[in-house]
């Protein structure tokens, strides 16, 4: 979700999509929902009101300083689990949908990303613990490189229901059920402005790339929007995924 356009597009598209695919539970990444950088209590509540059940995040989750307090109290918004001990918030959580406990884990990659602890070791520990609670576990790997995300997918194949990537804002077309029964998609993409550069106004991004100076970015407010998602069907007993469908709706006013 990127900024106001992302939240508006979510409002417009999510309820229809939930109905169309008979979706029982919806997890969304909200790290860019507030003005393109971070999340606030109000924007999180707006996402919940649009039909999101649980929010994951990434490297921008602490951009709005006041959100730290909310992260300490909420059980529906998590931040990457492999931040060092003592960082506010939790890196995993559960919620109930259609009588099933759904476990969600958020981890962050290390290649071209802020320095964090080993995502492989961290996610392994969390999955081992969570499997005592539920076989239905969803992992958001927030990372820059495709290879690191594919590696996490292979690493967790057969142990979680789904692994999908976030952070690049560019959807990949490699949705698949891996050999062990884990649904996988390298990057789920972005809901927000289709123009601009991954949600931000083009001019400032070009200026930064060309000058090397740190330009202030603003969310692209004009032009069409896009809605990106993935729908995963999971066997509630075994936790194995049986189907994954990628959604990319363009040209949303």
Q: Which residues bind Fe ion (CB under 5 A)?
A: 58-59, 167
Decide if 191 contacts 10 (C-beta within 8 A): yes
Torsion over CA: 64, 165, 25, 78 (sign):
negative
Tokens for 106, please give them: 């958020």
Report d(CA 156, CA 93) in Å as an integer: 18
Q: Minimum distance between the CB of residue 140 and Fe ion, rounded to whole angstroms?
A: 11
Nearer to Fe ion, 59 or 191 (CB): 59
Question: Could you give the 3-state DSSP secondary structure of residue 63?
Answer: coil
Nearer to Fe ion, 57 or 178 (CB): 57
Longest dimension (CA), the chain: 55
Q: Minimum distance between the CB of residue 60 and Fe ion, rounded to whole angstroms?
A: 5
Strand partners, 165: 141
Nearer to Fe ion, 60 or 233 (CB): 60
Query: What does each C-alpha distance from 11 to 15, 132, 191, 224 come to in angstroms?
Result: 7, 35, 11, 15
Q: Minimum distance between the CB of residue 137 and Fe ion, rounded to whole angstroms?
A: 22
Q: Is 84 exposed, middle or buried (0-12, 13-18, 19+ CB in 10 A)?
A: exposed
Active site residue 169: no
Report d(CA 149, CA 126) in Å as an integer: 17
Q: Minimum distance between the CB of residue 177 and Fe ion, rounded to whole angstroms?
A: 26
**What element of type H or E holds 141?**
strand 137-142
Q: Minimum distance between the CB of residue 142 and Fe ion, rounded to whole angstroms?
A: 6
Distance of CA 122 to the CA centre of its chain: 18
Nearer to Fe ion, 60 or 240 (CB): 60
Residue nearest to Fe ion (CB): 58
Nearer to Fe ion, 149 or 167 (CB): 167
The residues annotated as belonging to the active site are 60
């Amino acid at each position: 979700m990127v900024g106001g356009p992302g939240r508006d597009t979510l409002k417009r598209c999510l309820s229809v999509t939930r109905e169309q695919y008979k979706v029982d539970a919806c997890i969304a990444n909200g790290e860019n929902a507030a003005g393109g950088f971070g999340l606030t209590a109000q924007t999180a509540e707006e996402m919940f009101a649009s039909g999101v059940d649980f929010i994951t995040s990434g490297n921008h989750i602490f951009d709005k300083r006041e959100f730290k307090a909310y992260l300490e109290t909420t059980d529906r918004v998590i931040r990457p689990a492999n931040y060092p001990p003592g960082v506010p918030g939790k890196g995993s959580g559960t919620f109930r949908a259609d009588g099933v406990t759904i476990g969600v884990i958020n981890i962050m990659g290390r290649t071209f990303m802020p320095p964090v602890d080993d995502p492989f070791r961290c996610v392994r520990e969390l999955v081992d613990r969570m499997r005592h609670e539920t076989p239905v576990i969803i992992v958001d790997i927030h990372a820059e490189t495709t290879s690191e995300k594919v590696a996490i997918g292979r690493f967790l194949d057969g142990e979680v229901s789904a692994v999908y990537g976030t952070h690049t804002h560019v959807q990949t077309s490699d949705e698949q059920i891996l050999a062990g029964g884990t649904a996988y998609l390298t990057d789920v993409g972005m809901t927000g402005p289709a123009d601009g550069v991954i949600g931000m106004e083009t001019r400032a991004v070009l200026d930064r790339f060309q000058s090397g100076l740190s330009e202030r970015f603003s969310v692209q407010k004009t032009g069409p929007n896009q809605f990106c998602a993935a729908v995963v069907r999971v066997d509630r007993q075994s936790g194995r995924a049986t189907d994954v469908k990628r959604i990319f709706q363009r040209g949303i006013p």
